[in-house]
């Protein structure tokens, strides 16, 4: 039995089985390649589910994080720390939002966003029966609040009752949204590009109409940018492509490029009329280590012109995946934007993904029949060509 198999067996004996893991143990990475404990190289088109935007073995990033480790890792939020202040400044500049609350994960960011929306409505009329509209096929996380607005019944069923007063509309269908709005509606939450649900970008007219309804009725628009944000679509945040600014937004994943961190942000209007001292908190959120990582991520995004790279290589990837979609009879549709794309097949894709892994290519699904492409944002056209060569063999 190999050392790799030994480790896999140990993991299966010790870890709670909530994942059906691929049969590989990764050890380290360099650039856009991962290496398993036996030294085999893999081209990475998953980036830790959209996290490792700057690639592996990034010396400047590693040095920034190591330097902070030698200074201080944690102070709690009863005190200020410089990295968190600098990180807040950077994420505000990139997003154009006004107030930031740092969390440890995307799900926590969604929890905070929902609390802020409910508090905003409560301060208006003192009622606690406000409703939130979410979208079918959406994914916002696994904690109770985030799961309550996740539009996949199978994820929620065993854990009922969820938090109450959530209604589900059809994504990109404005009539479906209008049909659910009433005097109790306090917020509408959606991903600007649906990720886990199958890589569905929001349509510009839909997003603009939802924004207009929210403005008219003083309903808060919450945009979840956890997967589609931080440059993934070629803008810092996907909503910037449409000019549809949310009242509250969530971000995580590539925000820290490996260090676990998320945030929810809001406009000054929401900030002044929602959460106050004692309403929300976190022990680790906004710790100096996460702050140092965020500052370095934004520094590199700017210096290395990451957004420009996403636009250029994303367009190239789109063109090449279009060619595959045209040539393959079993491909139903090709969707996506920037370096967040999907190929939908008329059959499950697990076999293709496993074959690719054997051949040194890391891919992931979004639902049973969609291959999702979420590479590091620093990939080149040559990396796309290398991926396509393996993918074609597997098809």
> 239 pLDDT exceeds 90?
yes
- Tell me the average pLDDT of the chain: 97
Whether residue 144 sits in one domain with residue 79: yes
* CATH number of the domain residue 70 falls in: 3.40.640.10
Count of the separate structural domains present in the chain:
2
| The three-state (H, E, C) secondary structure of 236-279, written as one string | CCHHHHCCCCCCEEEECHHHCCCCCCEEEEECHHHHHCCCCCCC
Whether residue 252 sits in one domain with residue 104: yes
Whether residue 322 sits in one domain with residue 386: yes
* CATH number of the domain residue 386 falls in: 3.90.1150.10
> 358 pLDDT exceeds 90?
yes
Whether residue 153 sits in one domain with residue 10: no
Residue 23 near residue 57, CB atoms below 8 Å:
no
Of 197, 243, 240, 222, the closest CA to residue 340 belongs to 197
What are the pLDDT digits (tens) for 279-337? 999 999 999 999 999 999 999 999 999 999 999 999 999 999 999 999 999 999 999 99
Rounded average pLDDT over 108-117: 98
Residue 322 near residue 386, CB atoms below 8 Å:
no
What are the pLDDT digits (tens) for 197-215? 999 999 999 999 999 999 9
Whether residue 293 sits in one domain with residue 171: yes
Whether residue 78 sits in one domain with residue 31: no
Whether residue 267 sits in one domain with residue 147: yes
The reported pTM is: 0.97
Whether residue 206 sits in one domain with residue 81: yes
Give the end of a domain, one of 235, 270, 303. Answer: 303
Q: DSSP secondary structure string, 31-86?
A: BTEEEETT--EEEESSHHHHT-TT-BS-HHHHHHHHHHHTT-S---TTS--HHHHH
Whether residue 167 sits in one domain with residue 107: yes
Whether residue 253 sits in one domain with residue 173: yes
**pLDDT of 379:** 98
Whether residue 78 sits in one domain with residue 16: no
**pLDDT of 158:** 97
- Token readout for 69 is 């480790």
Q: Which domain holds residue 210?
A: 62-303
314-346 residues labelled b (16+ CB within 10 A) or e (exposed): beebbebbeeebeeeeebeebbbbbbbbbbbbe
Give the end of a domain, one of 303, 330, 364. Answer: 303
Whether residue 175 sits in one domain with residue 186: yes
44 bridge partner residues: 362
Residue 226 near residue 255, CB atoms below 8 Å:
no
**pLDDT of 65:** 98
- Token readout for 332 is 């139903």
- Kindly state the helix (H) or strand (E) to which residue 214 belongs, with its residue range: helix 204-217
Give the end of a domain, one of 303, 324, 339. Answer: 303
Residue 366 near residue 348, CB atoms below 8 Å:
no
**pLDDT of 1:** 77
Residue 267 near residue 60, CB atoms below 8 Å:
no
Q: Tell me if residue 133 falls in helix, strand or coil.
A: strand
> What gap in Å lies between CA 75 and CA 95, rounded to an integer?
26
């Amino acid at each position: 039995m190999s050392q790799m198999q030994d480790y896999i067996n140990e993991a299966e004996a010790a870890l709670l089985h909530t994942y059906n893991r691929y049969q590989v143990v990764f050890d380290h990475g360099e650039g856009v390649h991962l290496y398993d404990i036996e030294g085999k190289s893999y081209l990475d088109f998953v980036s830790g589910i959209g996290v490792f935007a700057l690639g592996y073995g990034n010396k400047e990033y590693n040095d920034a994080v190591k330097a902070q480790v030698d200074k201080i890792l944690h102070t709690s939020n009863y005190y200020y720390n410089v990295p968190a202040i600098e990180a807040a400044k950077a994420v505000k500049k990139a997003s154009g939002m006004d107030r930031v609350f740092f969390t440890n994960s995307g799900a926590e960011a969604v929890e905070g966003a929902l609390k802020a929306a409910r508090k905003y409505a409560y301060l208006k009329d003192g009622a606690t029966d406000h409703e939130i509209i979410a979208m079918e096929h959406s994914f916002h996380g696994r904690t109770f609040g985030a799961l309550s607005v996740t539009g996949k019944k199978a994820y929620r069923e065993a854990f009922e009752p969820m938090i109450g007063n959530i209604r589900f509309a059809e994504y990109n269908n404005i009539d479906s949204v209008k049909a659910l709005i009433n005097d109790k509606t306090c917020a509408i939450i959606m991903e600007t590009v649906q990720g886990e649900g199958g890589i569905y970008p929001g349509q510009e007219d839909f997003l603009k109409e939802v924004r207009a309804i929210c403005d008219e009725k003083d309903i808060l628009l919450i945009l979840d940018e956890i997967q589609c944000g931080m440059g993934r679509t070629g803008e810092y945040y996907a909503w910037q492509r449409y000019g549809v600014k949310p009242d509250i937004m969530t971000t995580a994943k590539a925000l820290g490029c490996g260090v676990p961190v998320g945030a929810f942000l809001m406009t000054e209007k929401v900030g002044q009329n929602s959460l106050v001292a004692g309403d929300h908190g976190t022990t680790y959120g906004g710790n100096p280590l996460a702050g140092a990582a965020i500052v370095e991520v934004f520094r590199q995004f700017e210096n290395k012109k990451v957004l420009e790279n996403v636009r250029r290589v994303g367009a190239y990837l789109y063109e090449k995946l279009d060619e595959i979609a045209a040539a393959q009879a079993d491909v139903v549709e090709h969707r996506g934007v920037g370096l967040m794309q999907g190929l939908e097949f008329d059959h499950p894709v697990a076999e293709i993904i496993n074959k690719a892994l054997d051949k040194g290519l890391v891919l992931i699904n979004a639902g049973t029949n969609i291959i999702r492409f979420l590479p590091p944002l620093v990939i080149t056209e040559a990396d796309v060509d290398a991926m396509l060569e393996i993918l074609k063999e597997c098809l």
